[in-house]
């Protein structure tokens, strides 16, 4: 017979989204904390701090999905034997069921993180936790992960069906071949490769091999799926198709997935969250659109976006942004976008090409001569000199603009970015 819950006290809950604070009674029964408040969704999850503020326990509303943190990476550091420090105090969390992309240039540390999570490498410092339990000393085979390698790593002498069955028929948890075949066939239906059952990997296309590799990883019902640049060997059209299939598949299965890529378009299209890395540090961990719309620093702004963002050096003096080709009073900027006071000094001004727009007479910020026009379907990319640099603007294909035309431009001031000399965003 269950014990009747006893009221143990009140949590002061700060709602993540609106900063509201709500006083909620809580109960403890069998080491479980239950929070009761009609204003909160039943599916709301909370993270409780271990410290007390102002004599009360604090807890933070994290999401409303009913999920939980599947992976916690805490102060992760990796130094290789040659002295190269690949990761420098990396911290992030991944929600159960999320598809997260590790994105960044070659050598930034993304594959190192994947191999550390998989257990193929050991960290120099820090911790990796699955559902709150450290796995740093846990063998790879005991971490309940699926790993899809860049080269697929299929057994060439086995048929597709045998490849997919294989993980189920070895190890301490092996099952009979009959049962393994049944499970394998179920997953082959899910990934639409039933017709490939009797074929050898050498007879398959790159896309087919990719599906087989993913199916083999999923058949073990792992808690975490790791994908190491799985589309790099495919042509452009097939990459597009397979990445759509991967997202559909992992969402249908509900598996927590980490996807390593250096392709920003791939990351933006497939992921729930993106972790952008450079030189062993996380530059931004955010929703995909925020890396484009609200970059945290100069590196993020320059890395995300195609065509790349326009960056030019400016000086702020006496409340005016000064460039050799224009002056812009800081009073015309949106006050709510300022991250700090714009003191006199040198800055980098960032303008997305679509935010540099042709201007009506009397509304121009600067005029220039178009040096090149590039047609990209529904839009034209205009190339033009500004001072000693060449910048870009994107306009509708309906704008009849040709090379050699003189054109007046303005910029959307509520969408520009300002970075200090160290690359930190200040506006």
Is residue 313 within 8 A of residue 348, CB to CB? The reply is: yes
pLDDT band at 132 (very low <50, low <70, confident <90, very high): very high
| Average pLDDT of the chain, as a whole number | 86
Residue 2 has pLDDT above 60, yes or no: no
Spatial strand order in the sheet of 281-286: 145-148, 224-228, 256-261, 99-103, 273-278, 281-286
Q: Where are the domains of the chain?
A: 7-63, 69-298, 307-419
pLDDT band at 18 (very low <50, low <70, confident <90, very high): very low
Tens digit of each residue's pLDDT (9 = 90 or more) over 186-223: 999 888 899 999 999 999 988 889 889 999 999 989 99
**What is the SS3 assignment for 34?**
strand
Residues 6+ apart with CB under 8 A from 299: 278, 283, 423
Helix H or strand E segment including 323: strand 320-323
Which of 3.40.50.300, 3.30.390.50, 3.20.10.10, 2.30.30.60 would CATH assign to domain 69-298?
A: 3.40.50.300
CB-CB neighbours of 12 under 10 Å = 14
Alpha carbon of 336 to those of 9, 46, 242, 426: distances in Å? 39, 29, 41, 11
**What is the SS3 assignment for 107?**
coil
pLDDT at 71: 96
Tens digit of each residue's pLDDT (9 = 90 or more) over 37-61: 444 444 344 444 333 333 334 343 3
**What is the SS3 assignment for 302?**
helix
CA distance 292 to 414: 14
Dump the DSSP string for 352-369. Answer: -GGGEEE--TT--SEEEE
* Closest to 271 in 3D by CA, of 252, 243, 301: 243
Average pLDDT of 276-304? 97
Residues 6+ apart with CB under 8 A from 134: 127, 128
pLDDT band at 230 (very low <50, low <70, confident <90, very high): confident
Residue 44 has which token pair? Answer: 């709301």
pLDDT at 166: 93
CA distance 122 to 112: 10
CA distance 333 to 416: 9
Sign of torsion, CA 358 364 365 369? positive
Q: Which residues pair with 181 in a beta bridge?
A: none
> 305: alpha, beta or left, given left = phi > 0 and alpha = psi -120 to 50?
left
CA distance 95 to 68: 6
Tens digit of each residue's pLDDT (9 = 90 or more) over 321-375: 999 999 999 999 998 999 999 999 999 999 999 999 999 888 999 999 999 999 9
CA distance 255 to 21: 33
Average pLDDT of 159-171? 92
pLDDT at 29: 43
CA distance 71 to 130: 5
- E strand intervals along 1-105: 7-14, 21-29, 32-35, 45-53, 56-63, 69-79, 85-95, 99-103
Residue 256 has which token pair? Answer: 């927590």
pLDDT at 55: 39
CA distance 171 to 327: 70
**What is the SS3 assignment for 351?**
strand
Residue 426 has which token pair? Answer: 């200040």
Q: What are phi and psi of 119, to 5 degrees?
A: 90, 10
Whole-model pTM: value is 0.80
pLDDT band at 24 (very low <50, low <70, confident <90, very high): low
CA distance 394 to 401: 11
Is residue 99 within 8 A of residue 250, CB to CB? The reply is: yes
Proportion of the chain above pLDDT 70, given as a percent: 84
- E strand intervals along 192-309: 224-228, 256-261, 273-278, 281-286
Architecture per CATH, 307-419: Beta Barrel (2.40)
């Amino acid at each position: 017979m269950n014990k009747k819950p006893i009221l143990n006290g009140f949590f002061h809950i700060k709602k993540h989204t609106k900063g509201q604070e709500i006083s909620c009674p809580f109960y403890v029964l069998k080491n479980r904390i239950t929070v009761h408040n009609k204003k909160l969704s039943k599916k709301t999850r909370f993270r409780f701090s271990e410290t007390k503020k102002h004599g009360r326990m604090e807890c933070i509303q994290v999401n409303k999905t009913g999920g939980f943190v599947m992976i916690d990476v805490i102060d992760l550091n990796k130094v290789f034997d040659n002295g190269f420090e690949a990761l420098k105090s990396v911290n992030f969390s991944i929600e159960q069921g999320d598809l997260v992309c590790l994105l960044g240039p070659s050598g930034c540390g993304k594959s190192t993180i994947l191999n550390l999570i998989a257990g193929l490498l050991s960290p120099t410092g820090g911790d990796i936790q699955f559902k709150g339990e450290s796995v740093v000393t846990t063998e790879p085979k005991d971490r309940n992960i699926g790993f899809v390698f860049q080269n697929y790593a299929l057994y060439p002498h086995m048929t597709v069906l045998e490849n997919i069955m294989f993980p189920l028929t070895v190890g301490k948890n092996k099952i009979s071949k009959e049962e393994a075949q049944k499970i394998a066939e179920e997953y082959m239906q899910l990934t639409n490769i039933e017709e490939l059952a009797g074929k050898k990997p050498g007879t398959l296309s790159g896309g087919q091999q990719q599906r087989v590799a993913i199916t083999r990883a999923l058949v073990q019902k792992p808690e975490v799926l790791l994908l190491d640049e799985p589309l790099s060997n495919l042509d452009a059209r097939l990459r597009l198709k397979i990445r759509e299939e991967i997202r559909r598949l992992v969402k249908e299965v509900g598996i927590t997935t980490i996807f390593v890529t250096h392709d920003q378009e791939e990351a933006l299209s497939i992921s729930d969250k993106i972790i952008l890395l450079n030189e062993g540090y996380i530059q931004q961990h955010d929703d995909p659109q925020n890396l484009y719309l609200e970059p945290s620093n100069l590196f993020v702004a320059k890395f995300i976006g195609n065509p790349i963002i326009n960056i030019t050096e400016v000086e702020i003096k006496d409340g005016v942004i000064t460039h050799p080709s224009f002056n812009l009073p800081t009073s015309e900027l949106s006050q709510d976008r300022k991250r700090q006071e714009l003191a006199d000094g040198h800055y980098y001004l960032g303008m997305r090409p679509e935010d540099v727009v042709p201007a009506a007479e009397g509304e121009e910020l600067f005029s220039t001569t178009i040096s090149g026009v590039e047609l990209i379907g529904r839009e034209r990319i205009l190339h033009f000199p500004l001072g000693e640099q060449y910048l870009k603007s994107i306009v509708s294909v309906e704008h009849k603009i040709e090379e050699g035309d003189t054109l007046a431009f303005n910029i959307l001031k509520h969408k520009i970015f300002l970075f200090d000399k160290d690359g930190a965003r200040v506006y």
